[in-house]
Amino acid sequence: MVTPMARYFDVHPDNPQPRVIAKTVDLIRSGGLIAYPTDSCFALGCALGNRDGLERIRTIRKLDSKHHFTLMCRDFSQLGQFVQIDNQVFRKIKATTPGQYTFILPALKEVPRRMLHPKKKTVGVRIPSHRVVLALLAGLGEPLLSSTLLLPGEDEPMTQGWEIKETLDHQVDAVLDSGDTGAEPTTVVDFSGGFPEIVRLGAGDPAPFE
């Protein structure tokens, strides 16, 4: 199914306009898929229970069933409602968040099964420091189901909002452009085995987990 042309929102990176945030939150709640900036690079995002949105992300990125989707969380109390985290792991993650890291952890039953790694029953979680994302998460009141906006066959994610709008115009419902995103995905650290294993080297310094 081809969607109508994506809406384009120019949003202030430090003081995101409440009107734009409210419109975007409404769009997410009504089943929309957005491309939005983070403190590492652009991401695709939709509501946690949006089965169609998840499948649209899979289609855009050509992802297989083993891909780890990420729950973009506002803070630790929200993160703790969706993943299993012991004290030792908590301390290590707490020391590096908010930041440019995604952590793979065992999921609790609150996470939809379709989001999980089929064998490990794990999911990615992350607490960003980008004010636009934090404003969206505050308005939404729940995590945003997300995936890095890295297109098939590309080594680097897209960094320009207008370019994303041109490329994905009929595949996403809105593009938020704050003009200040980085060009590197997060560093991914897998804690599902009880110890840190770096599975993707990215924008976050790997030193605390080596």
Instruction: HSE, CB side, 13 Å, CA atoms: give it for residue 133.
Output: 31
Q: At what angle do helices 18-29 and 131-140 cross, to 10 degrees?
A: 50
Q: Is 46 left (phi over 0), alpha (psi -120 to 50) or beta?
A: beta
92-119 residues labelled b (16+ CB within 10 A) or e (exposed): bbeebbbbbbbbbbbbeeebbeebbbee
Instruction: Give mean pLDDT, residues 4-27.
Output: 95
pLDDT of 106 over the 80 cut: yes
Q: What is the pLDDT of residue 3?
A: 66
Confidence of residue 183 (pLDDT cuts 50, 70, 90): confident
Q: What is the pLDDT of residue 2?
A: 56
How far is it, in rounded angstroms, from Cα 133 to Cα 77? 17
Q: What is the pLDDT of residue 1?
A: 52
Domains of the chain: 7-209 (3.90.870.10)
Confidence of residue 179 (pLDDT cuts 50, 70, 90): confident
Q: Is 63 left (phi over 0), alpha (psi -120 to 50) or beta?
A: beta
Confidence of residue 182 (pLDDT cuts 50, 70, 90): confident
| pTM across the whole model | 0.94
Confidence of residue 115 (pLDDT cuts 50, 70, 90): confident
Instruction: Give mean pLDDT, residues 33-47.
Output: 95
Instruction: Give mean pLDDT, residues 164-185.
Output: 91
